[in-house]
Amino acid sequence: MAHYRITVDGVVHETDGKNCLIDNAGNLGMPGISASPLTSVNDGLLDVTVVRDNSISSLIAISDQMRGVEPNPDALKHWQGREIHIASDPPQGIQGDGEVWGFTPIMVKVLPGVLPIMTLPTDRP
Ligand SMILES: [Mg+2]
């Protein structure tokens, strides 16, 4: 358990949690399964999720968020923004889009149009 101080576009949020995830695409490796229906690779926003602990209520909150149901705010916190700063006590590992990015404190920001990406139609065999 850590105490997180998370600044999202200049607004400070403080919460306790077990895990913190920053992502952009929300892809969990299975088609149609996303960390949240709000998460989009092309919305220009990063998503920050803090899971309170490893309890059943936290697992239910994660499931609720994935299904678009408002999760229990005591079990799961979620914010979206363009510039995210995360500090914690004690320092915690940070994952982004499934990769380990480092440890808190960390600053992550959206850089629009920096990475060119070519995609194929989804109906292509
Ligand atoms: Mg996004």
Query: What number is the average pLDDT over the span 33-46?
Result: 82
Question: Which residue reads 């979620």 in tokens?
Answer: 78
Asked, for residue 74, whether it belongs to a domain, the answer is yes
47 within a domain of the structure (yes/no) = yes
Number of domains in the chain: 1
For 89-122, write each residue's pLDDT tens digit. 999 887 666 678 778 999 999 998 888 888 788 7
Taking 90 as the threshold, does the pLDDT of residue 86 lie above it?
Answer: yes
Distance between Cα 89 and ligand 1 center (Å): 27
User: Does residue 119 form part of some domain?
Assistant: no
Tell me, yes or no, whether 27 lies in a domain: yes
**Cβ neighbour number for residue 96 with a 10 Å cutoff:** 16
How much distance in Å is there from the Cα of 75 to the middle of ligand 1?
A: 22
Between CA 82 and CA 32 the distance in angstroms is 24
Ligand 1 being an ion, which residues bring their Cβ within 5 A of it? Answer: 24, 40, 43, 45
Q: Structural domain of residue 65, as residue ranges?
A: 2-109
Q: What is the pTM of this model?
A: 0.79
With bands split at pLDDT 50, 70 and 90, how would you rate the model's confidence at 75? Answer: confident
CATH number of 52's domain: 2.60.200.40
